[in-house]
Structure 1
Amino acid sequence: MLNEKVAEIDRLIENRFRAHDLAELATSMPGTGSLLGAELLAGVGSDLASFAGLAPPWVPGSLTCPAPTSTPPAGTA
């Protein structure tokens, strides 16, 4: 009974994840399937570029990116 319920929930998660705009991108990473991809998107949201450090974070309600909060160490900029 419990295994059947877990399998049903897994199917629901997979179906919802597959409908997400970024599902194909998330599962393109080696070793990432539907459940891990869903967990990744749930954790970082749709802002994968910021999570990966490729873009500054988006600030809700703002049309611009926030200024850096700290200066980089000497010799790294």
Structure 2
Amino acid sequence: MNDSALHVTLTKMCELHAIDIPRSGELAEHFQLAFPSASYDEEAGEWRMVWKKGTYAESNARLEAFFSERGLAFSHINKC
């Protein structure tokens, strides 16, 4: 998969957030460095992060900035 052509889906499931990016590769390495609390969920096939209530706006802004700085498109799905 070509990271420059990647569209990232960010799914909010209340305190659990899912980030649909590849498990490995340069993007995943940078993501893991920027968000050390994230872990890859093998069963779901996506990265997962737990955020505390009240930090969603800040957390979303950090994720959006991370992907925007890399020229990647992203969208949000709210399942909360």
Give TM-score scaled by structure 1 length: 0.25
Of structures 1 and 2, the one scoring higher in RCO (CA 8 A, sep 6+) is 2
Tell me which protein shows more helix as a share of its residues: 1
Largest Rg, 1 or 2 = 1
Tell me which protein shows more strand as a share of its residues: 2
Give TM-score scaled by structure 2 length: 0.24
